A and B are shown apart, each in its own frame.
Chain A
Amino acid sequence: MGGEPRDRWTGKLGIILAVAGSAVGLGNFLRFPAQAARNGGGAFMIPYVVALVLLGIPLMWIEWTTGRYGGAFGHRTAPGMFHRLWRHPAIKYFGLIGIFGPIVIFIYYTYIESWTLAYAFFSLFGEYASATDQAAMKGFLQSYQGLNQTHFSSLAVAYAFFLATFLANCWVLFRGITRGIEWLCKWAMPLLFLIAIALAVRVLTLPAHPANPGQNILNGLGYMWNPDFEALRNPDVWLAAAGQIFFTLSVGIGVILTYASYLSRRDDVVLSGLSAASANEFAEVLLGGTIVLPAAFLFFGQAQMADIAQSGTFNLGFVTMPLIFERLPILRLFGATLPTGNLFGAAWFLLLFLAGITSSVSLAQPAVAFLKDELGITKRKAAILFIVVTFVLCQPAIFFLGNGVVDELDFWGGTFCLVLFATIETILFGWFFGIDKAWTEMHYGADLRVPRLYRYVIKYVTPIFLLVILSAWFLQKGPPALRPGSIRDWPAFCAKLRVDGYQEGKLLDFGDRDLRRRVWGLLPADARAAASEAANAREVAWAHKTAILAGLNQIMESPDLASHRPKGLSKDGLQQLNRSLLQAAFPAEIAPRRAKIIEVVLMVDVADPDRPYVLGARLMLLVLFIGLVVGLEIAWHKRRDLWDRTEPLEDPP
């Protein structure tokens, strides 16, 4: 546009690495092993593979095909592509989700990415060496995030690393597709795989724990891979596997659509899409499944593994892993002492940084492409506008991290938009564009023939799968205000707890409904009555879970649990309720769950101060979406030639 040459990938390898770079992220190395360990170990691979075959790979092909098809008409983003799939005047607005979602993720992802860069330096120079256990390392992370001042007096260091990371992203964006993203991915992805393989080899060759020979790498692999087939009877395990496939392949974001739009009409999408997916699986299952949990088992032993696996992605990456690298044996080589812990620690965080930056630049591309190609402004101006807007939007995520802002952004951008967008595009592709036409389009220039069975998978199975996930996630992970009978509604929550295993009770994570009933049954009558009568309970802020969990041990010892009380519940009533719940949690069979119970009981109260921040974040997102709608309206009227085009643009020779 504007006389600029059309962007193109210089080769198919470029786009495969770019899509793989977008897909391979922190989740491959941190989220996957934790999900597998929590959901049946090796047995998790059964639903995982089913979801890959029925959901992940079909979505890959749908997005590659739609992207290339839209690109042939000069569209680089979902609004125009959806318009090509179905000429309905409203459908382009749904396509905006494919620009809005990536921007929202970019806003907080860039900040998290900057932590990995910072930790690479910290690791190299031994900055966190004084933190020798989980609590101390968690304190270091929180201090870095500005949540306490034990190691860092302000956010200055974190902000400096954020600026460095943001500028690195800007530099790649300014250089465009070929000289920016393709160049980055051609260097970063091989380097990422090399580092990951080196780390995996190091982990697999670690000697057993000297004091406890049972803590060895084989048993560590066993912790990760030994199957618990009973878990397959739990629908949540199947849902978790589908969710993992969804997140790991970067489908439903809109990025692949934009990347594929730079393909030529003659380029293959079938083999390329499958190759990108398989490269991502290599990083996830072979490397991600080998590094984190087996190493954690070796150093921390079976007793702490349940807590480690449950501690969440960030704790695994920024708390557990640094502790592991600190404990790596020192290597003596030709008389010299090599601080292998520092080196492998730096390599680990460099690996995460590379995984992060190849993902973050991809998240920026739909918005930049929308500004450039739909609104017709120059590449440079599009990049500048994107950078200025997102820089402003990043600030709440940095300064109000502890107030639930990032969790709010993650819900809308990283969960809700993904599933909704994927569901819409799949239905459009298989039903409105039509499976016959879609099938032909998919095979145009293909280097590989898709089995005919996939015609039915794409048309029937994948959309149904997505609708089930969308419904289940809405109930489980929706913001409290949107979930029926959530903890915000304390009496309803308690009533649900009493009746059966309501989804919200999943937070209690008791494992079975009988146990939940039993906990309720253990409550004294007055506590039950108090809970049932309580009103005006407050909203849950997800960010506080981490902080609360960090202080659980101290809280458990606290004589006065009543200081954490939901509004509307009398002090005595709450004290009784808390104590009863805690007592109920003490029996040996549910002891590991007590943290969750306390979390649920306590977070009701501490959440309230965050409500303005959460509402502010929602307002920010609303303004952003309205801005995109206005931009689309301008594009629609300004570039009618593009929208009304009936013949594809000619490929450059």
Chain B
Amino acid sequence: MTAAGWLIAIGSWVGILALNVFCFYRFFTEKPAEPITREDTPPPQPPAGCQPAGG
């Protein structure tokens, strides 16, 4: 195994492990995301919405 091989393998493994740890830590700590602000999107609407024809 070359140094580049090690680098990519370990980088991939660590990256994916970190993603899993992050996700499941957040998942079990139940920390809700910050609400979306007006600058980001139009004001949240109730999900009801019948989309008008043609979208």
Interface residues of A (CB under 8 A from B): 12-13, 16, 41-43, 45, 49, 69, 72, 84-88, 218-219, 221-222, 224-227, 265, 268, 270-272, 274-275, 278-279, 281-282, 285-286, 289, 431-434, 436-437, 439-441, 443-449, 452, 646-648
Q: Quick one: given A69-B47, A270-B33, A275-B23, are A225 and B55 in contact (CB under 8 Å)?
A: no
Instruction: Please give, as numbers and ranges, the residues of chain A lying within 8 Å of B51 by CB-CB distance.
Output: 84-87, 432-433
In whole angstroms, how far apart are the Cα atoms of A43 and B33 in the complex?
A: 35
**Interchain CA distance A452-B40 in the complex, whole Å:** 8
Q: Is the CB of B36 within 8 A of A439?
A: yes
1/0 contact string of B11-55 vs chain A (CB within 8 Å): 111011101100110110011111110001110110111111111
Other A-B pairs beyond A282-B16, A432-B55, A448-B26, 8, CB < 8 Å? A49-B15, A226-B5, A265-B47, A275-B27, A279-B20, A282-B20, A440-B41, A444-B44
Cα(A443)–Cα(B36), bound, Å? 7
Quick one: given A226-B4, A433-B51, are A446 and B40 in contact (CB under 8 Å)? no
Q: Decide: B27 and A222 in contact? CB cutoff 8 A.
A: no
Q: Are A278 and B19 in contact (CB under 8 A)?
A: yes
Q: Is the CB of A285 within 8 A of B13?
A: yes
Minimum CB distance partner of A276 in chain B? B23
B16 near A278: Cβ-Cβ < 8 Å? yes
A439 to B6, CA, bound (A): 39
When distances are taken between beta carbons in the complex, the residues of chain A under 8 Å from B52 are: 87
Cross-chain pairs A/B with CB under 8 angstroms, 24 sampled? A13-B27, A41-B5, A42-B5, A42-B9, A45-B8, A49-B12, A84-B51, A86-B55, A87-B51, A87-B54, A218-B1, A225-B5, A225-B9, A227-B4, A227-B5, A270-B33, A271-B23, A275-B24, A282-B17, A285-B13, A285-B16, A447-B30, A646-B48, A646-B50
Q: For A436, list chain B residues within 8 Å (CB).
A: 41-42
Q: With A437-B49, A440-B45 as given contacts, are A222 and B2 in contact (CB-CB < 8 Å)?
A: yes
- Most interface-central of B34, B35, B44, B47 (chain A CB within 10 A): B47
Which range contains the number of B residues in contact with the other chain?
A: 35 or more
Contact B19 A281 (CB under 8 A): yes
Cα–Cα, bound, A444→B49 (Å) = 14
Which residue from chain A places its CB closest to the CB of B11 in the assembled complex?
A45
- The residue in chain A whose Cβ has the minimal distance to the Cβ of B32 is A447
User: Most B CB atoms within 10 A — which of A41, A84, A440?
Assistant: A440
Q: How far is the CA of A599 from the CA of B9 in the complex (A)?
A: 35
Contact of A271 with B26 in the complex, beta carbons under 8 Å: yes
Listed in ascending order, the chain B residues whose CB lies under 8 Å from chain A are 1-2, 4-6, 8-9, 11-13, 15-17, 19-20, 23-24, 26-27, 30-36, 40-42, 44-45, 47-55
Chain B residues with CB below 8 A from A218, complex form: 1
Closest to B3 in A: A226
> In the assembly, what is the distance between CA of A45 and CA of B33, in Å?
30
Residues in chain A near residue B33, CB distance under 8 A:
270, 443, 446-449
Tell me the minimal C-beta distance from B55 to chain A in angstroms: 4
For residue A16, which residue of chain B has the nearest CB? B27
Q: Return the 4 tightest CB-CB contacts between A and B, nearest first.
A: A42-B8, A222-B1, A226-B5, A432-B55
Q: How far apart sit A431 and B54, CA to CA, in the bound complex (Å)?
A: 10
How far does the alpha carbon of A45 sit from the alpha carbon of B16 in the complex, in Å?
12
| Cβ B16 vs Cβ A88 within 8 A | no
Contact yes or no, A271 B27, CB < 8 A: yes
- Chain A residues contacting B15 (CB-CB under 8 Å) are 49
Please name the residue on chain B nearest to A644 by beta carbon.
B50
What is the distance, in angstroms, from A576's C-beta to the closest C-beta of chain B?
46
B6 CB to nearest chain A CB (Å): 8
What CA separation (Å) do A431 and B53 show in the bound complex?
A: 13
Residues of chain B within 8 A of A85, CB atoms compared: 51, 55
Query: Which partner residue on chain B sits nearest A222 by CB separation?
Result: B1
Which residues does chain B contribute within 8 Å of A278, judged by CB atoms? 16, 19-20, 23
Q: What are the residues of chain B within 8 A of A219 when measuring CB–CB?
A: 1
Contact A440 B31 (CB under 8 A): no
Q: Are A42 and B4 in touch, CB under 8 angstroms?
A: yes
Q: Which of B42, B50, B54 contacts A440 (CB 8 A)?
A: B42
Closest chain-A Cβ to B2's Cβ sits at a distance in Å of 5
Q: Which residues of B contact A439 (CB under 8 A)?
A: 36, 40-41
Q: How far is the CA of A42 from the CA of B9 in the complex (A)?
A: 7
Q: How far is the CB of A644 from chain B (nearest CB, A)?
A: 9
Max chain A CB contacts within 10 Å: which of B1, B2, B42, B51?
B1
Are A88 and B53 CB-contacts (below 8 A) given A285-B16, A286-B17, A441-B47?
Answer: yes
